[in-house]
Amino acid sequence: MELQVSAQTEAIFRQKLSTGHYASEDELLRNALASLSESDDDWAAIEEGLAAIDHPETWIPLDVADAELRSKLQIPPP
């Protein structure tokens, strides 16, 4: 696949590649796309949460939400 990118985008890409953190152009691009996917997932969760504000029947108690989040992020209880 060939991509057409601006000179500025190519310069940023080359600068990131020159750090030595990526073994290849493909690895850098895969990493960038994975980060973009995570960001998309974050925005989707935010939008879902905002939509739930209008539906109190879907709310969960704060202590339950805290426990679930701590479990997911492997954070010990306070």
Q: Convert the pLDDT of each residue in 38-66 to its tens digit.
A: 999 999 999 998 998 889 888 889 999 99
Q: Indicate whether 44 belongs to any domain.
A: yes
Q: Indicate whether 64 belongs to any domain.
A: yes
> What is the structure's pLDDT at 58?
85
Whole-prediction pTM: 0.59
Q: What is the mean pLDDT of the chain?
A: 93
Q: Indicate whether 2 belongs to any domain.
A: no
**Range 50-58 contact pairs with CB under 8 angstroms and sequence separation of 24 or more:** none
Domain that holds residue 37: 7-73
Structural domain count of the chain: 1
Q: Indicate whether 31 belongs to any domain.
A: yes
The Cα 57–Cα 29 span in angstroms is 42
The Cα 57–Cα 27 span in angstroms is 44
2 pLDDT tier (thresholds 50, 70, 90)? confident
